[in-house]
Amino acid sequence: MNYRYIAIEGNIGSGKTTLAMKLSSCLKGALILERFADNSFLPKFYEDPARYAFTLELSFLADRFQQVKEKTSAPDLFDKTIVADYFIDKSWIFASVNLNSSEFNLFKRLFDIIYPSLAKPDLIIYLHSTPNIVEKRIKLRGRDFERNISNDYLQSIHEKYLSYFRQHPKTRILLIDIEKHDLIIEPQKLKTLPKT
């Protein structure tokens, strides 16, 4: 596989982190994992979205920017494949769902300043499924702060991802229907990823 930088994307609960770890191990690559557990604003956001959405999105943007910049700038790391369980555009996608228009306009100004300075993935693997499936997965993993995520919210995220990809037709995306091809349950299917 000739991809230098692969990002795994998908809705909440789609299996991004698990697949990123398996793929990184398979490729003997470097791994970038989102540090959501360290974000103290995430549980607060789920309790009171209107109050904490802007703070949450800014904190995620700052952390993702720092992490991607550090990992992709290290010469010894970029000699091998990097696999991440997100891409920086995720910040834009979630902010566009979670923020009101004035907050999003300010967020977008900041995003547009930092975006050009970051390496972009050569390939995005998008784990596609219906909100009903990811809602079941979220319940199975049992994180307390996720217990009240609504199907409507998951649907909004799902639609925003698809809309975003339609607006970026030059982005190389491998869409995998995880209802038909679950790479977590059947990791041997990783070998069927297309070559460049």
Check whether 196 has a pLDDT greater than 50: no
Where on the phi/psi map is residue 123: left (φ > 0), alpha (ψ -120 to 50), or beta? Answer: beta
Determine the pLDDT at residue 44: 93
Catalogue the E-assigned strands of the chain: 5-10, 30-32, 82-84, 123-128, 173-177
Read off the pLDDT of each residue in 45-67 and give the average, rounded to a whole number: 95
Chain mean pLDDT for the chain:
87
Give the residue numbers marked as catalytic: 79
**Domains defined for the chain, CATH in brackets:** 5-151+167-192 (3.40.50.300)
Least confident of 13-27, 113-127, 173-187: 173-187
**pTM of the prediction?**
0.87
For the stretch 59-106, pLDDT in tens is 999 999 999 999 888 766 556 889 999 999 999 999 999 999 999 999
